[in-house]
Amino acid sequence: MAANVTCNICKNNKDINFVMEKNGYNILKCPFCGVYLVNPQPDEQELRNIYSFDKDYFKYTYFSKKVFSDFLKKRLGWLSGGNPKNKKFLDVGCGTGEAVFFADKIGFNAIGLEINEGAIKKMREKGVNVKNSTLEKFNGKGSSFDAIYLGDIIEHVKDPSKFLDKCCFLLKKGGRLLVATPNTNCFLAQYQLLLYKLFGIPWGHVSPPYHLFEFSNKSLIGMLKSKGFETSNIEFHTSSFPYSVGNTGLFKDFKNEYRKSRNFFKVLKNNDSKNNMLLGTVILLFYGGYLFNKFLKMFSSGGNAMTVFAIKK
């Protein structure tokens, strides 16, 4: 149990449960709304350092102007309501700028917000309209946007409640909000948590100080409702297997070398043998969970990632 901690989602300050320590941060769980939160949280300067090329954040990630994926087409299609022409689109934490670029290409008046200066430079070289700002400091006018895209960003912010307040302020009535984020209310997330409890393998679902909050579908939809949004639909996905293994934090050097070379066997050969044995063990345990998850999906929907489609009432 952690004292003097308030859940900024439901404002509960009693019986906040300690779950684990990871990367020097405590992971807590609110028993009332079910949200997992990081304590203590990094300050703004630390976050800017984390999301930088110095820490390899998006340093090796690119997108092709010629490849407009069906996945992104579907998301932008919903956000446009079938007609994007001259509608204002905002992508918060736009990363590589892919969504902003293609939103603009199909007719949106699109802008992205990002704080990674290296990524911003790369985006501007591609002609992406991006502003160096957080959402909290963005000076957009009220009721001025038709669509806001939150692609894997809400779990990164220090105050998701105020973050959604700002989204509601910026959106027009009837404006569309898409929120993509990990989902704790699923077999894979809870299976990997069990592996931590049994074998001490760090929970692959959380990655402090990058992810500061982790939501279930129930907690996220509840928070959206309290902010004046009506959920139109929710879709579940399964994140990649390598992502979950890498997210344990046990193989940082291996992960960094692989990002540079993209040659798994070369990195494996140069890696420490004990670390390779640990990697093999984690792969086997995690892969068993992924296989069983495929079996479960034959009977019910679910996944360790979710996309919520919401409309401002």
For the chain, domain boundaries: 43-250+286-312
Task: Burial-class residue 229 by CB neighbours within 10 Å (0-12, 13-18, 19+).
Answer: buried
Four-way CATH pick for 43-250+286-312: 3.30.1490.100, 1.10.730.10, 3.40.50.150, 3.30.9.10: 3.40.50.150
Q: Specify the pTM.
A: 0.90
> 221, 181 in Cβ contact below 8 A?
no
Q: How far apart are CA 126 and CA 218, in angstroms?
A: 38
> 171, 177 in Cβ contact below 8 A?
yes
User: Residues 167-201: pLDDT tens digits?
Assistant: 999 999 999 999 999 999 999 999 999 999 999 99
Q: How far apart are CA 221 and CA 7, in angstroms?
A: 17
Q: Which is higher by pLDDT, 266 or 131?
A: 131
Query: 65 to each of 62, 78, 100, 108, 123, how far by Cα in Å?
Result: 10, 21, 11, 16, 11
Instruction: Classify the C-alpha dihedral 269-270-274-275 as positive or negative.
Output: negative
Beta-strand relationship, 229-237 and 88-92: unpaired
For residue 1, pLDDT beyond 60: no
